[in-house]
Amino acid sequence: MSARAHPLILAIRPEPGLAATLAQGRRHGLAITGVPLFEIRPRGWDAPDPARIDGLLIGSANAIRHGGTGLAAFIDKPVFAVGAATADAARKAGFEVAAVGEGGLQGVLAAIAPPRRLLRIAGEEHVALDPPEGVGIETVIAYESAALPLSPELGAQLAKGAIVLLHSATAAAHFAAECGALGVPRAAITLAALGPRIASAAGKDWRAIHMPDRPRDAALLALVAKLCL
């Protein structure tokens, strides 16, 4: 697909991930626009007894950024992080990182030797996990993603043709609903979704839906760059 057919390349994820996506996209030579349709907000959570926790299972840097004062009780616990950005956020907060995954938290779990009791600090939207035998998980919800409206002005731009990057199933469903509310034709929009679950949440009737071979932001942006050739 040509850049001329898609004058707008839009990322809608919340900050601070949005800024990272924009910077990386521009390194790919993309004229990418960022308009967050979500705002990450902290939620209060009750910390379990640290004595019964062997480590922290962290699926997003937002868990560290928005975990609040409750994190301090677990500063001596090793962190099992979903990826490099999450691991970096944990280290900057003073945690020791025991393992860094590449393909989701389920893969991180598979490499953890039992017995372990892990505290999963998660967002309101989080995927179910199947821990191996001997590995237990307690989950607390430390943050939520609040949806923001799509402006009529942006809707009008989208109607002329666009590629939209989707980083979560919640974002996909919300974007689809906002397009429906504004009467933006799905046939004008190509979606670049980070994975199958996200693509499914967006629904059907888009011009096209593409996914990278790996659920990584860099791979998603490389895919978009190819779509613009």
Across 72-96, b (16+ Cβ under 10 Å) vs e yields eebeebbbbbbbebbbebbeeeebe
pLDDT tens over the chain, length 229 residues: 443 445 799 999 998 889 999 999 999 899 999 999 999 999 999 999 999 999 999 999 999 999 999 999 999 999 999 998 899 999 999 999 999 998 789 999 988 999 999 999 999 988 899 999 999 999 999 999 899 999 999 999 999 999 999 999 989 999 999 999 999 999 999 999 999 999 999 999 999 999 999 888 999 999 999 999 8
Q: What is the pTM of this model?
A: 0.77
Cβ count near 149 (within 10 Å): 12
